[in-house]
Amino acid sequence: MVCRLIEGWESSTTPADYLGKWSSFGTGLAISGAAGRFGNGIRASTNAHIFSRTFDAQATWVVGFALRVSALPGNTLALLQFLDGATVHCGVGVQADTGLLFAFRATTATVLGTAAVPLVAGVWAYVEAKFTISDTLGVAAVRLNTVPVVTLSSQDTRNAGNATANIVRFGPSATPSALIDLDDLYVFDGSGAVNLDFAGDCKVEQVLPGGAGASTLWTPSAGSNYQCVDDVPPNGDTDYVASATAGQTDTYAFGDLSVASAGTVKAVQATVVARKDDAGSRSLAVVARPGGTDRVGATQAVGDTYAAYTQTWDTNPDTAAAWSVAEVNASSFGVRLVS
């Protein structure tokens, strides 16, 4: 599988700052330390508090997230849904009063399988779900704190339309009777040769630029280049680096991860917050530099307003092997103006 997205909500407490990385946010979502497991998290308390990401269509998705409910919900609701456009194929919900997770097709009324172990109010749990969308060969699997609680195959997990999903949506499908906090998300798709299954209980950690990298070709608004891109939250035009020359690259050294050297790195995601400031088209690519070579990510078109542009590497692009903590700590990341 391929890691498509990771999120720890550490870069800002303003939902609008995540647009670009996320496709849509419901109104009123709150990002704060009070909602977080390690630092910030996101809190939903109504059915308007949903957020989603649109991807290319895939038949198989694996998703993990930390979940805390302030009380066992008094109503049954969906927490995670996989959609083909506007059509909900399947997802994961929580039962009213019992706190039992379940897998469903189309709506929460069509239950495919239910866990026997409930959520505990006020306690963080790590929920993972794997779905393959098919009329007859569908997979619906749910894990709670790494333990399988729903394991189904040869299921009908397709509602209508294509046997694929291109939208992953989080948040309650109905107004809950409790606060719902989410943190430390990952989204894998069904392609690729690594990250082939559940990742287990994961922590998403943010590290920030702390020094110059090998290239400092973009022009800083003031001071050193890296000092213009190390702000939490991103501060728009207050300070920045800029380039109008295609091919120019700016890279930055980063702080170290907090985990021990024996920690496992499932994926690395670099994020650039950018806008263009003139007419015409502009595009950028996010860059990783684990060793002596720039590894350039996909070309992404840049809009007129600030948005987040991400690139994820499942493995070290120098070696094609899993990242070690030391390799992440020694790497620099940055941005290239493509056109």
Render pLDDT for 290-329 as a digit per residue (tens, 0 to 9).
Answer: 999 999 999 999 999 999 999 999 999 999 999 999 999 9
Q: Which residues contact 4 (CB under 8 A, 6 or more apart)?
A: 53, 55, 187, 188, 189, 312
Q: Which residues contact 262 (CB under 8 A, 6 or more apart)?
A: 325
Nearest to 267 by CA among 192, 176, 156: 192
Average pLDDT over residues 261-272: 91
Average pLDDT over residues 154-164: 97
193 phi, psi to nearest 5 deg: -120, 0
- Average pLDDT over the chain reads 96
Q: What is the pTM of this model?
A: 0.95
pLDDT band at 192 (very low <50, low <70, confident <90, very high): confident
Query: In the predicted model, is pLDDT for residue 261 greater than 80?
Result: no
- Copy the structure tokens of residue 50: 């949903």
In the block, which residue shows the tokens 């350039």? Answer: 296
pLDDT band at 47 (very low <50, low <70, confident <90, very high): confident
13-20 — which CB contacts under 8 Å span 24+ positions?
13/40, 13/233, 14/233, 15/51, 17/233, 17/234, 17/273, 17/306, 17/308, 18/308, 19/307, 19/308, 20/273, 20/307, 20/308, 20/309, 20/310
**Total of domains in the chain:** 2
* pLDDT value, residue 193: 87
Q: Which residues pair with 62 in a beta bridge?
A: 130, 188
Average pLDDT over residues 195-216: 96
Average pLDDT over residues 123-140: 98
pLDDT band at 58 (very low <50, low <70, confident <90, very high): very high
State whether 161 and 223 are in the same domain.
no
More confident residue, 26 or 102: 102
Counts of helices then strands in the chain (DSSP H, E) = 1, 25
State whether 330 and 234 are in the same domain.
yes
Domain ends where: 132, 157, 189?
189
Nearest to 96 by CA among 63, 128, 125, 69: 69
> For the ranges 95-104, 169-178, 237-246, 288-297, which has the lowest average pLDDT?
169-178
Measured distance CA(106)–CA(297) in Å, rounded:
36
* pLDDT value, residue 102: 98
What domain range includes position 148? 2-189
44 within some domain:
yes
State whether 27 and 164 are in the same domain.
yes
State whether 9 and 126 are in the same domain.
yes
State whether 215 and 172 are in the same domain.
no
18-24 — which CB contacts under 8 Å span 24+ positions?
18/308, 19/307, 19/308, 20/273, 20/307, 20/308, 20/309, 20/310, 21/53, 21/271, 21/307, 21/308, 21/309, 21/310, 22/51, 22/52, 22/53, 23/52, 23/53, 23/54, 23/167, 24/51, 24/52
Q: 309 vs 17, 179, 286, CA distance in Å?
A: 11, 30, 8
Q: Which residues pair with 306 in a beta bridge?
A: none
Average pLDDT over residues 200-222: 97
Query: In the predicted model, is pLDDT for residue 262 greater than 80?
Result: no
Query: In the predicted model, is pLDDT for residue 127 greater than 90?
Result: yes
Q: What does the pLDDT look like over 278-299, one tens digit per residue? A: 999 999 999 999 999 999 999 9
State whether 162 and 70 are in the same domain.
yes
Domain ends where: 189, 223, 241?
189
State whether 164 and 234 are in the same domain.
no
Q: Decide: 49 and 28 in contact? Cβ < 8 Å.
A: yes
> For the ranges 68-72, 81-85, 231-235, 259-263, which has the lowest average pLDDT?
259-263
26 within some domain:
yes
Report the CATH number that the domain containing residue 100 is assigned in CATH: 2.60.120.200
